Amino acid sequence: MIVPLEAKVKYEWNQYSSEINLSVAIPEGTRARELMVVVQPFLISISLKGYGVILKGSFHKGVRHRGTVWTIEEGMLRILLVKGDQQSWKKLFPSEEELHPMQAIKQVCEDPEPVDHSYMDLTPEARGIVDLHRSFKHAMATGDYDGAQELEEEMKLMRFNWGKEKAHMEAS
């Protein structure tokens, strides 16, 4: 059953290959204990004490609800939703207008941190390192601490190997 979108506040969203970032306007000074954020595979419901439901509706596609993380920043509720698939989403809720395909692709490919070079300019090995670091950050953000620990061990081994290579090159 599709729950129609009920939005009493402004919201916006963007996406990357494996996640959706949803920003919901809330009153300045709102505390976490005043919010009730419920995320299910195809549904989100956000209630605020004294206001009731401020945002509720079925998602256009499914999310991995157990990976949801949310924070409060400067009058905004920021919610990280893990996509159920790695495809570009054309909309977050069924009743929204679809994003233009190029806009959706741009969101997925855009790096959240500004840099003066392209990811594709990196060597395959460097892209692998960037991907590993992003996976680590995602695992930490979604509470997958076992996965994060494995990735951290892998990164430590890589640093150890780099040190050996540098020492070997200096000795030559």
Contact 35, 77 (CB under 8 A): yes
Distances (CA, A) of 23 to 31, 70, 118: 16, 10, 27
The verdict on 93 and 121 lying in the same domain is no
The verdict on 85 and 122 lying in the same domain is no
- Once rounded to an integer, what is the mean pLDDT over residues 57-76? 92
The verdict on 104 and 115 lying in the same domain is no
Question: Other C-beta atoms within 10 Å of 22: how many?
Answer: 23
* More confident: 172 or 3: 3
**What CATH number corresponds to the domain at position 95?**
2.60.40.790
The verdict on 96 and 163 lying in the same domain is no
Structural domain count, the chain? 2
The verdict on 103 and 41 lying in the same domain is yes
Q: Is 60 exceeded by the pLDDT of residue 138?
A: yes
- Once rounded to an integer, what is the mean pLDDT over residues 29-33? 93
Query: What is the extent of the structural domain holding 7?
Result: 1-108
Q: Is 70 exceeded by the pLDDT of residue 160?
A: no
The verdict on 120 and 166 lying in the same domain is yes
The verdict on 4 and 87 lying in the same domain is yes
Q: What pLDDT is attached to residue 108?
A: 58
Q: Is 80 exceeded by the pLDDT of residue 107?
A: no
